[in-house]
């Protein structure tokens, strides 16, 4: 009953409501069962109202963007999924070097927008398959750059629906972490402070980094990017390779033969297949090296 009240309100706010939506269509791993309902958020205002109402009604929910770092249970998600997609992806210039982007904006779109305005600093993010919201949440990074290098502030929605600004000093940004992983607030937009650059130089850097991704990473298969966090002083991929796990397979899931830091869906993998590979890798690396690899991917259970 409470879930239906929430979904009725979502419809009133002109959000598209999809029942029994397969989560495999909304995650880069391409696995996961169906959710009770998915709500395509239409605006920051609708997000704030629905977050507030969901908490008031004690309805279980999760907010997702491109689903590039999520692993949903094969049974699905017993609750409501709020989708930050193309309806909440506005991007615009605030001043000569500051870009405003809503949480549903893809990183590729953000990087191309920066390029169009001759702004440098975001080249590292070109090719990361996530959204602005997810990138801030994870402090996404690659090739010696990360979000904390370029973000000025962001807006977030509290559990009571209050929208407020969080400065970079209060974002708690560290290696693949932010305050949002601990405070249950939802990112709705970000402000990025860049530097004026030369169009051709920025484009060349983006092309170079994309080429490096394609040559070294298994982009031809569904995955969540790097599966494990980098242990201090080590590289997860090298540890996994040194333990003889390259190509280790369970069902349709495999430690990539191209880059051992990636677990990929070779075709028809289930979430349980992927989790089995992850657990085996963690146990083997721990036994052989003493390092316990921490999973970078967020694993979402069917129910609480």
**Long-range residue pairs from 251-256, CB within 8 A, at least 24 positions apart, any chain:** 251/276, 253/277, 255/281, 256/218, 256/221, 256/223
Q: Report the alpha-carbon distance of residue 212 to residue 235 in Å, rounded.
A: 17
Active site residue 16: no
**Which residues, listed in sequence order, are joined to residue 100 by a DSSP beta bridge?**
92, 191
Q: Give the residue carrying structure tokens 């991917």.
A: 297
Which among 44, 176, 185, 188 is annotated as catalytic? 176
Active site residue 116: no
Which alpha helices (DSSP H) does 75-155 contain, by range?
107-116, 132-138
Q: Report the alpha-carbon distance of residue 146 to residue 131 in Å, rounded.
A: 14
Q: Report the alpha-carbon distance of residue 188 to residue 127 in Å, rounded.
A: 22
- Here the tokens at position 163 are 């929208």
Which among 178, 189, 226, 256 is annotated as catalytic? 226
Q: Supply the DSSP symbol for 177.
A: B
Active site residue 46: no
Which alpha helices (DSSP H) does the chain contain, by range?
2-12, 44-56, 107-116, 132-138, 180-183, 199-216, 236-242, 271-289
CA triplet 90, 40, 52: central angle to 5 degrees?
95
Which residues are catalytic, by number?
176, 226, 296
């Amino acid at each position: 009953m409470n879930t239906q009240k929430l979904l009725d309100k979502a419809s009133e706010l002109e959000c598209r409501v999809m029942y029994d939506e397969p989560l495999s269509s909304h995650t880069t791993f391409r696995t996961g069962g169906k959710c009770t309902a998915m709500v395509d958020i239409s605006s920051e205002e609708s997000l704030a109202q629905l977050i507030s109402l969901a908490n008031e009604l004690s309805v279980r929910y999760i907010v997702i963007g491109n689903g590039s770092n999520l692993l949903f249970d094969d049974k699905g998600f017993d609750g409501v999924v709020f989708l930050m997609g193309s309806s909440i992806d506005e991007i615009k210039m605030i001043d000569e070097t500051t870009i405003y982007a809503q949480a549903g904006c893809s990183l590729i779109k953000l990087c191309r927008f920066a390029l169009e305005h001759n702004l440098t600093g975001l080249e590292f993010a070109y090719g990361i398959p996530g959204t602005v919201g997810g990138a801030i949440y994870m402090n996404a990074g690659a090739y010696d750059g990360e979000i904390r290098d370029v973000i000025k502030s962001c807006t977030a929605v509290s559990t009571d629906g209050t929208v407020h600004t969080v400065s970079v000093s209060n974002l708690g940004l560290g290696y693949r972490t932010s305050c949002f992983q601990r405070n249950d607030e939802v990112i709705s937009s970000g402000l990025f402070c860049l530097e004026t650059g030369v169009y051709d130089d920025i484009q060349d850097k983006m092309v170079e980094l994309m080429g490096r991704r394609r040559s070294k990473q298994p982009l031809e298969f569904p995955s969540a990017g790097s599966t494990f966090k980098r242990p201090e002083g080590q590289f997860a991929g090298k540890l996994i390779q040194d333990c003889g796990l390259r190509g280790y397979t369970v069902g349709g899931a495999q430690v990539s033969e191209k880059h051992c830091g990636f677990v990929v869906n070779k075709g028809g993998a289930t979430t349980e297949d992927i989790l089995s590979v992850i657990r085996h890798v963690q146990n083997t690396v721990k036994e052989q090296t003493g390092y316990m690899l921490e999973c970078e991917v967020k694993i979402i259970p069917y129910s609480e």
